[in-house]
Structures are given as structure tokens and as C-alpha cells.
Amino acid sequence: MLRSRETRPLDPPESVRLGDIVLRNRLVTSSSLLGYGVANSPLLPYGMSPVSLFVPLSEFGAVTTRTLTVEPREGHFTTRDDWTLRELPGLLKRYGTVLRGTDSGFLNAFGWCNIGIDAYLRDYYPRTRDQRTIISLGGFSAEEFVTLVDRVNAAVPAGDIAAVEFNVSCHNVNFDFSTILRDVLDEAVPRSNHPVILKLSPDYDYLRNAQQAAAAGVSALTAINTVKALRLDPRTGTPWLANRYGGLSGRAVKPIALRVVSELREAGVTLPIIATGGIRTVADCREYFWAGADAVSLGSATWLASYPGYALAPLRALRVRRVLRAVRRYSPLPKRNAPSR
């Protein structure tokens, strides 16, 4: 169970409390874009946006990991992270089957490829202790989420991470998560020694799911996960992605994500909301705060670029640093009244 307020350690200086969650500030990173928070190779930082190599990750409110499962999972990609320069063309070809730029955004279908929770806790988490971490967890049953929570509890003392995030809404693993959500909330949330964040999809009944989350003791919500989408080759009809359908992210989903955050507040949801979707600038962050978000998360709109574009990663990182400085100075805005219907 979560520790009571009386037994929590004092918050670190300049921290931000969102209910049970303590962040260093209101700007976090979205799941998957920075892999496991550290790269094994400085030359080919597999799983991490090259832009992140020029940004102090320890200064973010929290860094969210790639979604981790009980066992290692290839998904539609690979778990390898030891690619050499000679193998780079093959790696880029693989990326082309699971990640494609589209109109004002990106389509991905990685399918939860990851090294598994045990390998992450053994090989990666100890090297990211300078960061505030949100560990993203994914499974196909309540039993799997219980196992994941128990393993995090055993390896990570309460208070050493910001939270665990339950990804019960991913579109590229071909599973109907609505069939297990209630059991996941009822069985896994009470077992966690760490605050739990539920990641919402705009393609499910997010208002009902948010209300169920609040009743189950979830500490916060992430809004939103990617939007289920499809692109076809107009000449052949062949799907762009190996999984046919993928998750749409980036600038294209910003109006959707803003709507979801606003509707959650209009529906009376009071849980803290970490908003994500198309955020690149301070103005984007401000829009989400006005909509009702308590924190904002940088995803593909910030960290992804075309492969030649990564040559400009140091310049892109300067923009990220500007956003980070601005959000660290942010004071909560007075909430606007919901519009009358």
C-alpha cells in the first residue's frame, strides 16, 4: 500500500507535488522516446532520441521509461541495443517498418519491444538514479500487472521513483485493454509501494476510465496515449507499418489531447493530469495548463526528427532547454470556469 503522509520523507527542494507524486518540476518526458533513461553506446544511442544526449535529463520533473513487460518482448521490432556502425543501414530499415513520419506527426507500431522488467531493474535503473523516474508498465492481465508491481516494489524503495505508470491503452499490441482495466485497477494498484499513474487513450471511454482510476486509488492520469491510426501506400495499398495499425503522435494529436484534458476537468475529474501530445514550445505548455493539466510531457513532437535532422540535435536541444527553464519557473494558473452547455 502507499505510505501515509506521516511516513513520507520531506519533499526535496524545488519539488512539485501532484497528489502522492513528487516531481522535480512540471515538465516530464513521455514513455518510449528516451528508452530506459540511459544509452549503452554514446555513438549509437539505441532507443533514445539523439536530442536527449544534449539535454540534462536529471533536471526534468521525471523521465518516463519505455513500457516494460514481465518477460522480454520483441514486439514488432527488436530488443537489441548493441548495434554497430556497420549494421546501421539494417537498423534504419527496421525502424522504417515500425516508425514513420506522417502529416504533422508520427505513426509507430513498436509493439512494446523491451528487455523485460528484471533486466531493466538490474542493468539500467541503477544507472539513472540521478534522474526522477516514472517506470512504465504494460501487461495483458491483472496478474501480469501484479507481478510487475511486486518486482518494482522489491527492487526500488518507496520514494525513490516518482511513480509507476500503467499502460493499459496501447494500440499496437493488438489487445482490447477494456476487458482487463477494472481488474488491473482493483488488484494491482493497492499492491504498489509507489504512486500509480493511469495512461488514458482517447479511443477508449476515458471519462469512465478516469473515474474508475480515482475510485481505485490511482494518484494521477496521463492524457493521452497515441491515437489509433492507419496509412497505406497509395500505389499498392500496402500498410506503412508492419502491424498495419499504429499509434499516431505529435503535432497532429495536440487538439485531441487538449480536448481530453478539458473534458476530464469538465466531468469533475480532480486527479492530477500529466498532459502529452504535440508539445514543443512554452506556448504549447501554457495551452495545456489552461485546459486543466498539472504537468506536461514532451513526446515525439520534441524528440523525433528525420534521420538527417538529427545532425541538428544540439540546436534542437537548446529549444528543449528553453522550455525546461520556463516550466521550472511556472506557477499554477487560476482555473478557468468550464463553459456552460
Grid cell at residue 287: 495551452
The helix (H) or strand (E) run that includes residue 143 is helix 142-155
| Cβ pair 60, 25 in contact under 8 A | yes
Of 23, 109, 170, 323, the active-site residue reads: 170
How far apart are the C-alpha atoms of 157 and 326, rounded to whole Å? 31
| Cβ pair 225, 167 in contact under 8 A | yes
How far apart are the C-alpha atoms of 221 and 203, rounded to whole Å? 15
Return the number of other C-beta atoms located less than 10 Å from residue 41's C-beta: 13
C-alpha distance from residue 37 to each of 63, 103, 294, 301 (Å): 7, 28, 23, 18
- The per-residue b/e assignment along 172-194, b for 16 or more CB within 10 angstroms, e otherwise, is bbeeebeebbeebbebbbebbbb
Beta-strand relationship, 273-276 and 220-223: parallel
Identify the CA nearest to 154 among candidates 179, 127, 125, 112: 125
Grid cell at residue 220: 494521477
C-alpha distance from residue 306 to each of 49, 138, 204, 311 (Å): 11, 28, 31, 9
Strand partners, 297: 28, 276
How far does Cα 167 stand from its chain's mean position? 9
Grid cell at residue 75: 514486439
How far apart are the C-alpha atoms of 288 and 150, rounded to whole Å? 34
Q: Determine whether 170 is an active site residue.
A: yes
Positions marked active-site: 170
